Structure 1
Amino acid sequence: MNWGHKIIIVFVLFAAGILTMVTKSMRTRIDLVTPDYYGEELKYQQVIDGRKQAMNLSSPVVISQEEHTITLAFPKEMQDIPLTGNVLFYRASDSGQDVTVPVKSGLLILSKDRLHRGSYRVQMHWEANGKKYFQENAVMVN
């Protein structure tokens, strides 16, 4: 086999490899943090203000796990007042496994059946007495 045939074979193999990589990359699913990333970025000042408000509480929200449940216990000053907001269990590896739960009182109990095993970022947005609060924790669901 002469060198001309070898160059053609190398070129064909290279082109086939590039086409394979392009095909695989086009079929790969990419999960963004949020579909409206720019709009969420503009609202980030509310998160900063909410974190400051949460720092002024007597204690942070405590997240504990039992065998079948996850419990979120809000600080004592939040126990007897109505709360509004939500808790997002954000799964970075797969947005289809994100779970949002509304907050109505100072104690939230969630069944582990709603969550898959693995790492979550728990993002808590709530409002009480006209003040907005935000807290974020990492949780490993087992």
Structure 2
Amino acid sequence: MKFNWGTGLAIGMFCFIGFIMFMVIKMSTDDKYEYDLVVEDYYGKELRFQQEIDAEKNLKLFSEEITGKKTTEGYELSFPKTEGEIKGTVNLYRPSNKKLDFIIPLELSEDKIVIPEAQLIDGRWDISVEMTYQGKDILFKKSITY
């Protein structure tokens, strides 16, 4: 058999296609290379989007802004002083790994809530505080890098 440039090109293309197929199969079947959807119920969340916009507008009910800062104990969210009770949840979403997501009930002591440092792994976190104040839904969102 005579080995010319056409044969070499065909062998090279065959090896390249084989390598690509091997990597596609390995990445899609190996648990080490896990990938997640951003949210499980994408379409349902999209339908509730207008409610989220209205809840964010209700932040104007507070006299001051909700602020956050990194402390030695964790991440502290400070709420403005209010006359009524605030009830809700603090959702922490990790874009890179849904296994790290968690929810904390909103229980204010001294108008502050501290998210423990032990639960916050370094990286980006999306915080959303869903609360009810004076019978209205309020939503506060913030992205932090811890």
Matched, 1:90 2:90: no
Matches within 5 A, 1:11-22: 11-22=13-24
Task: Output the CA distance in 2 between the equivalents of 1:24 and 1:81.
Answer: 56
- 1:30-67 Cα offsets, whole Å, 9 max, x none, are 22221001111111111101111003421121112211
Which letter maps to 1:59?
A: E
Q: 2:43 matched to which residue of 1?
A: 38
Q: CA deviation at 1:4?
A: 5.1
Percent identity over the alignment is 28
Matches within 5 A, 1:49-64: 49-64=54-69
Contact between 1:87 and 1:102, CA under 8 Å: does it hold in 2?
Answer: yes
- RMSD of the alignment, in Å? 1.9
Consecutive unaligned residues of structure 2, counting only runs of 5 or more, are: none
Query: Which residue among 74, 77, 85 is the counterpart of 1:72?
Result: 77
Which letter maps to 1:87?
A: V
Number of residue-to-residue matches in the alignment: 139
Contact between 1:99 and 1:115, CA under 8 Å: does it hold in 2?
Answer: no
Task: Output the CA distance in 2 between the equivalents of 1:55 and 1:25.
Answer: 47
Matches within 5 A, 1:105-120: 105=108, 106-120=111-125
Task: Output the CA distance in 2 between the equivalents of 1:122 and 1:5.
Answer: 58
In the TM superposition, structure 1's runs of 4+ consecutive aligned residues that sit over 6 Å from their partners are none
Task: Output the CA distance in 2 between the equivalents of 1:67 and 1:19.
Answer: 49
Q: TM-score, normalised by structure 1?
A: 0.85
Contact between 2:68 and 2:77, CA under 8 Å: does it hold in 1?
Answer: yes
Counterpart of 1:64 in 2: which secondary structure?
strand
- 1:94-136 Cα offsets, whole Å, 9 max, x none, are 1111221111334212210011011211111101121110111
Which letter maps to 1:11?
A: M
- 1:61-102 Cα offsets, whole Å, 9 max, x none, are 11122112222121112xx53322111121111111122111
Q: TM-score, normalised by structure 2?
A: 0.83
